[in-house]
Amino acid sequence: MANVADGGPTLVETAAALRAGTLRAADAVAEALDAARAAEWLNAFVMLHPERAAEEAERIDAARAAGTDPGPLGGVPVAIKDNIDEAGVVGSAGCAAYLDRVPDADATVVTRLRRAGAIVIGRTNMHELADGVTSENPHYGPVHNPHRRGFHPGGSSGGSAAAVAAGIVPAALGTDTGGSVRIPAALCGVVGFKPTLLRIPTDGIVPLSTTLDHAGVLARTVRDAAQMAAVLTEGAIAVPPEAWSVPQTGLRAGVLDFGFPPDPGVAGRFAEALRVLERLGWAVTPVEPGAVPLLGAATGVLSAIYAPEMGRRHEARLRERPADFSPDVRADLERGLAQPNGRYLEALGRRADLMGQLDQAMEELDLLVSPATPHPARPFGSPGSHTYLRYTCPFNLTGQPAISVPMGDVDGLPVGLQLAGRRNMDALVLRAAAAFEDALRGAAEGRTAG
């Protein structure tokens, strides 16, 4: 089984090899499909597209041979989460109630990927309707964590994270309503980037929450995530190549206290990560605990917003085919439909208050830092999965860009560092995350050489 530690090619490396002619798109796609089949035990995919992907690869190879530029991702194999529309392909969003759902158009994110030359090799498994953080899907089966069989990969974009971590594809699309890109990225040891709200279009994506959903990227490296973000935003999020080599010194980072301490092993890795940031020349200071009083209430606010929105979106299908929803998701739908509208409006008001509190807390800061999750991955069926949302969901409520970057492991299970920036400061978040990634890799290589 391949994984990140095996040093498989990154998206940037794959794209460069394709442009240089040292790699054919047909071979890149065939290798990705072979890797997916070899790692079937992960259950990362609900569907592969071997014929379609091979045909697209042949077209790209022919275009390149004829002197035509197929785009910045020409021939790069990628995967997309099962709640993202592809024309003429079943898009069930991980739910048996939607196995007959066949959209007639690609989601905008898929259109942009294909326009850039990327080749979608398949659709990834996920938590049902994106309503959960473990990707233990009752209809397709659970996704296994590539680092430990029988442990969940996080979610809801667990299949996308597992596919990247296992080296099947260098990047994949996910969605993030409360942490569903960053949580599985952290638990699988890859990068998960959620940009500023609506910087990546969400049309053509089955919604969990129309006001909180973010489209995002899972990738092997920060630079890979940045390349994907540039394509998906048509250049609105862009880091010039020369900017990667500019030292990210003098940044001001605030350490958030969510009122919910991480596991000791995660706390230890986070302390080490903060020392790395300080060695980079960052000013790392704690955010006053009382500066963001709503931080500890964020999960409740999130639930009071997304549950009724989710309930309204799926009510008709719930009434028609209740048995096709898992008991947990069915209960969430019913809870959302039963929630008084006054509570929903109150939650929207508290969301605005939280935005104001975090904006004020960041007046003298460039970034906020924390662990991405309080815990590493756990075995299937473990209780208390909602606590994984504690550190990620505030930034869905505020719409701020946030990224999870690997910061080591706890007993062989990866954990991530979360960096969040001000709204629309996505490029800064990416550059800062890359600086940490490079520093951590350099430290690890130094230890190996020593």
What are residue 369's phi and psi, to 5 degrees? -130, 150
Buried b or exposed e, range 81-120, using 16+ CB within 10 angstroms: bbbbbbeebebbbbbbbbeeeebeebbbbbebbbebbbbb
Contact 95, 325 (CB under 8 A): yes
For the chain, first and last CA: distance in Å?
Answer: 28
| Rounded distance between C-alpha atoms, residue 265 and residue 197, angstroms | 32
- Judged on CB neighbours under 10 Å (0-12, 13-18, 19+), 138 is middle
Nearest to 330 by CA among 131, 99, 156: 131
Rg (CA), the chain: 21
Catalytic annotation present for 157: no
Nearest to 269 by CA among 119, 16, 41, 444: 444
| Rounded distance between C-alpha atoms, residue 281 and residue 253, angstroms | 11
| Rounded distance between C-alpha atoms, residue 116 and residue 193, angstroms | 19
Question: Which among 92, 135, 180, 303 is annotated as catalytic?
Answer: 180
Q: Which pair of structure tokens corresponds to residue 209?
A: 């929450």
Catalytic annotation present for 156: yes
Query: Starting at the edge strand that comes first in sequence, how are the strands of the sheet with 45-48 ordered?
Result: 45-48, 119-124, 77-81, 171-176, 214-219, 191-194, 402-410, 413-421, 367-371, 252-255, 283-286
Question: Which among 156, 157, 326, 404 is annotated as catalytic?
Answer: 156
Q: Note the residue count of the chain.
A: 450
Catalytic annotation present for 209: no
Instruction: Name the DSSP class of 170.
Output: S
Could you give the residue numbers annotated as active site?
81, 156, 180
